[in-house]
Amino acid sequence: MNAIQTLLGPGILNLDEEGGLTGEKPDPEADVSILGDSLLVMDLEMSGPHPKMHEVLDIGGIHAEIAPGVPEKGSFGSRITPLHIGSADHGALKVVGYSSKAWKNSIPFEKAFEEFTKLGAGTVVAGWGIGHDMAFLSESYRRLKIDWPFAPIALDIQLVARKILTKADVDRFNLGHVADRLGIGRMGEHGALADAYATYDVLAELCVRGMSTNQDS
């Protein structure tokens, strides 16, 4: 069994057939081989908090191997042309930095998800505090009338961090704080690909620390 799969086991979450989280707690006895050999570490930025009302404005993902160093196999990121900007939450738009000028080079919703799917079809979707992103991701595929194209589980890297890091390492478990405390530089905040890379880099560091602890024990 892959030692890194075992390390990631506490973050495994079950999905329903449409990619929605089932709400079940992680099973400590779960067969970690279900993780397979790679992950799609992703982040989304949205026009508001409600998956049925709002939409994905920015998407980013890194396809990474579940192996020492978590080698990157590819990446994709793009801003998405909104279809219903009139229903957006103004606070959310401010957070993501939305403007027609900033989104000048955005691409259509369908194209963005086509590229994202190509990047990691069949793999396990992973992210930081992944519940909100998973709700929007599954809703996006529902709108596109596309069957869920990834594995039937997801990986919450925040849950893995909670198992590996101590109070001496971090004060809280939001992504920015954890990245800063682990000495990880970031490309920026509230950009999907930037946050996906921050999550990916934190994952790589967690794997180093977790494997080192296991070897020492």
Largest interatomic CA distance in the chain: 56
Quote the pLDDT of residue 1.
43
Under the banding of pLDDT at 50, 70 and 90, the label for residue 143 is very high
Here the tokens at position 181 are: 């405390």
DSSP state of 184: -
Fold of 3-205: Nucleotidyltransferase; domain 5 (3.30.420)
Minimum mean pLDDT range among 80-94, 100-114, 199-213: 199-213
Question: Given its phi and psi angles, is residue 19 left (phi above 0), alpha (psi -120 to 50 degrees) or beta?
Answer: left
Q: pTM of the entire structure?
A: 0.94
Beta bridge partners of 211: none
How confident is the model over 165-188, as pLDDT tens digits?
999 999 999 999 999 999 997 766
Average pLDDT of every residue of the chain: 94
